[in-house]
């Protein structure tokens, strides 16, 4: 097998990376070339992504790759969903993109439902109602007479905006567009009724393309800035969860996945969207995946809880935090990780204490108690969502694959196995970048299907772990306690 090199630009909610991947002898190896912050700027009452700074960091990573002197086959970009940038008639960016955590969309869904009922919007898109979905961001900007929206020739999602800056080609990649709640998952095209309500049309976006298609080649300017040649930029599953799910090391379809990071995304892979009365009631989403698949999933607040708590504590590594949690009392305090109080509080530790006060539980006071509360609550929330998925899934769920950074968290993964009562297996902690790379490999003809992609991934991973349920009776009792506090608040 010929050795091939691919570059993955992988941007998360807190940091971004440029990764050089080498495929040789049926295996893939990845090297982190450049890591950088994905900066959020608070300015004039709003939160913005500093897209020029992110673009500059991407260029720096590509420059470092060029210095290595290897032949690069292509570049792929994945990021978080829903956010977008405006570009004017002259091709220039009109202003910094809003961050999805900006409060300007608080209450926005209800205002949109005055013109299109909640159920109709869900039936059209199959997307979970969340206030920061692109449809509600755009409707809020329209109601607020946003000058950038009024002047925009193109609206490009974050990975598409970066691809445009690199190539000059304005495209809309399907998986990232599917997060917007403006796409019909059956036709995989824009819903005209929704666009009309926003005063938009398909022409306001780039041409629709699917994962595995070429976007363009690096512009002359970018070639000079980086030292790379006219390398192809390829559409991967540019929504980071789509890339992560592409890297699940499954051998069959009888699985659920948990992409565990700042957010926890739990779902199943389906050939068709699951849009029903039950999925509507449970608020499940149908996002685009690779090779025409649909990711039927629910967004769950993930390590955001712990990340925010860590900001308030003396600097400690995860090993020390987990050691403290292991020494704390089991099931002392439980929370609903998705309660509104945890969305973006000034103090996460105070928010957790307040939740416990309101549900008549002892407040955590020690670091270990907070960490254990978060891990056990997440595991019990995962059980709740697995039970929902079992009602919706077209296939029986026999195991759960944990991918992303959470794949390394032994305590949380064992807790999850014990809580949900089925085997938990880990995939790559670098699953998002890995899925990004494998779609580029498919474009290059190195692999030819999801099955061959996942086979190469399985053969490339040497640190996979399995967790079997333990102490199931205790976890069932804890689940009853969790359901009680979940209903109370």
C-alpha 408: how far from its chain's center?
18
Q: To the nearest whole percent, how much of the chain has pLDDT over 90?
A: 92
pLDDT at 399: 96
Query: What is the pLDDT confidence band of residue 100, given thresholds at 50, 70 and 90?
Result: very high
259-269 confidence digits (pLDDT tens): 998 889 999 99
pLDDT at 210: 97
Closest to 75 in 3D by CA, of 35, 34, 21, 15: 21
Q: Tell me how long the chain is.
A: 489
CA distance 404 to 413: 12
The structure tokens listed for 247 are 């890297």
**Of 10, 240, 410, 463, which is the active-site residue?**
240
Break the chain into its structural domains and give their ranges. Answer: 4-241, 248-427+448-489
pLDDT at 261: 86
Name the region of 247 (left: φ>0; alpha: ψ -120 to 50; beta: rest).
alpha
pLDDT at 1: 56
The two domains 4-241 and 248-427+448-489 share their CATH topology (first three levels equal):
yes
CA distance 428 to 437: 13
pLDDT at 435: 96
Residues 123-143 have a mean pLDDT of: 96
- 337 DSSP assignment: T
Please identify which residue in the block is written with the tokens 């925010």: 308
Query: What is the pLDDT confidence band of residue 487, given thresholds at 50, 70 and 90?
Result: confident
Query: What is the pLDDT confidence band of residue 245, given thresholds at 50, 70 and 90?
Result: very high
Residues 292-297 have a mean pLDDT of: 94
* DSSP code string of 426-484: E--TTHHHHHHHHHHHHHTTS--SHHHHHHHHHHH-S---EE---SHHHHHHHHHHHHH
Closest to 423 in 3D by CA, of 380, 466, 385: 466
pLDDT at 488: 67
12-64 confidence digits (pLDDT tens): 888 999 999 999 988 999 999 999 998 999 999 999 999 999 999 999 999 99
Query: What is the pLDDT confidence band of residue 349, given thresholds at 50, 70 and 90?
Result: very high
The structure tokens listed for 372 are 């254990």
CA distances from 32 to 15, 61, 231, 318, 378 (A): 13, 9, 19, 21, 29
Is the confidence at residue 489, as pLDDT, over 80? no
The model carries a pTM of 0.90
CATH architecture of 248-427+448-489: 2-Layer Sandwich (3.30)
Is the confidence at residue 414, as pLDDT, over 70? yes
Q: Which helix (H) or strand (E) holds 298?
A: strand 294-301
Closest to 266 in 3D by CA, of 292, 284, 240, 243: 284
Let me know if 415 is exposed, middle or buried by CB neighbors in 10 A (0-12, 13-18, 19+): buried
Query: What is the pLDDT confidence band of residue 403, given thresholds at 50, 70 and 90?
Result: very high
284, 321 Cβ separation under 8 angstroms: no
Catalytic (active site) residue 240: yes
Among the four given CATH numbers 3.30.390.30, 3.30.420.40, 3.40.50.1010, 3.30.1330.60, the one describing domain 4-241: 3.30.420.40
51-99 confidence digits (pLDDT tens): 999 999 999 999 999 999 999 999 999 999 999 999 999 999 999 999 9
* DSSP code string of 139-175: HHHHHTT-HHHHH-SEEEEHHHHHHHHHHS--EEEHH
Is the confidence at residue 175, as pLDDT, over 90? yes
């Amino acid at each position: 097998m010929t050795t091939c090199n691919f570059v993955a630009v992988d941007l998360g909610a807190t940091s971004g990376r440029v990764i050089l991947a080498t495929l040789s002898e049926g295996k893939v190896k990845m090297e982190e070339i450049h890591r950088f912050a994905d900066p959020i700027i608070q300015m004039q009452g709003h939160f913005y992504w500093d897209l020029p700074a992110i673009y500059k960091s991407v260029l720096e990573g590509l420059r470092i790759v060029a210095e290595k002197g290897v032949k690069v086959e292509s570049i792929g970009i994945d990021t978080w969903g829903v956010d977008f940038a405006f570009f004017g008639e002259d091709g220039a960016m009109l202003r910094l993109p809003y961050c999805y955590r900006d409060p300007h969309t608080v209450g926005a869904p209800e205002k949109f439902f005055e013109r299109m009922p909640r159920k109709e919007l869900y039936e059209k898109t199959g997307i979970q109602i969340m206030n920061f979905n692109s449809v509600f961001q755009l409707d809020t900007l329209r109601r607020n007479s946003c000058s950038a929206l009024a002047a925009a020739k193109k609206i490009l999602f974050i990975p598409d905006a970066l691809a445009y800056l690199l190539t000059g080609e304005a495209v809309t990649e399907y998986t990232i567009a599917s997060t917007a709640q403006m796409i019909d998952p059956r036709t995989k095209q824009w819903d005209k009724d929704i666009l009309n309500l926003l005063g938009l049309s398909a022409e306001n976006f780039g041409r629709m393309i699917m994962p595995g298609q070429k976007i363009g080649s690096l512009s002359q300017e970018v070639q000079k800035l980086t030292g790379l040649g006219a390398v192809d930029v390829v559409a991967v599953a540019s929504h980071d969860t789509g890339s992560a799910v592409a890297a699940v090391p499954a051998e069959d379809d009888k699985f659920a996945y948990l992409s565990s990071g700042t957010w926890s995304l739990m779902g199943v892979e389906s050939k068709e969207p699951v849009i029903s009365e039950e999925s509507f009631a449970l608020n499940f989403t149908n996002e685009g995946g690779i090779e025409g698949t649909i990711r039927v999933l629910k967004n769950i607040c993930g390590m955001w809880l712990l990340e925010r708590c860590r900001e308030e504590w003396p600097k400690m590594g995860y090993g020390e935090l987990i050691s403290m949690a292991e020494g704390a009392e089991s099931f002392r305090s439980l929370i609903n990780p998705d309660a509104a109080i945890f969305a973006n509080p000034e103090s996460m530790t105070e928010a957790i204490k307040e939740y416990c006060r309101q549900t008549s539980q002892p407040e955590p006071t020690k670091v270990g108690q907070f960490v254990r509360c978060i891990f056990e609550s997440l595991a019990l929330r995962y059980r709740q969502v697995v039970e929902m998925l079992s009602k919706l899934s077209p296939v029986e769920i026999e195991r759960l694959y944990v991918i992303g950074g959470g794949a390394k968290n032994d305590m949380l993964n064992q807790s999850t196995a014990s809580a949900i009562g089925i085997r938990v297996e880990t995939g790559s902690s670098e699953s998002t970048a890995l899925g990004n790379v494998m779609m580029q490999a498919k474009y290059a003809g190195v692999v030819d299907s999801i099955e061959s992609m996942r086979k190469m991934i399985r053969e490339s991973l040497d640190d996979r772990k399995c967790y079997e349920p333990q102490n199931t009776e205790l976890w069932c009792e804890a689940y009853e306690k969790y359901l009680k506090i979940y209903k109370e608040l």
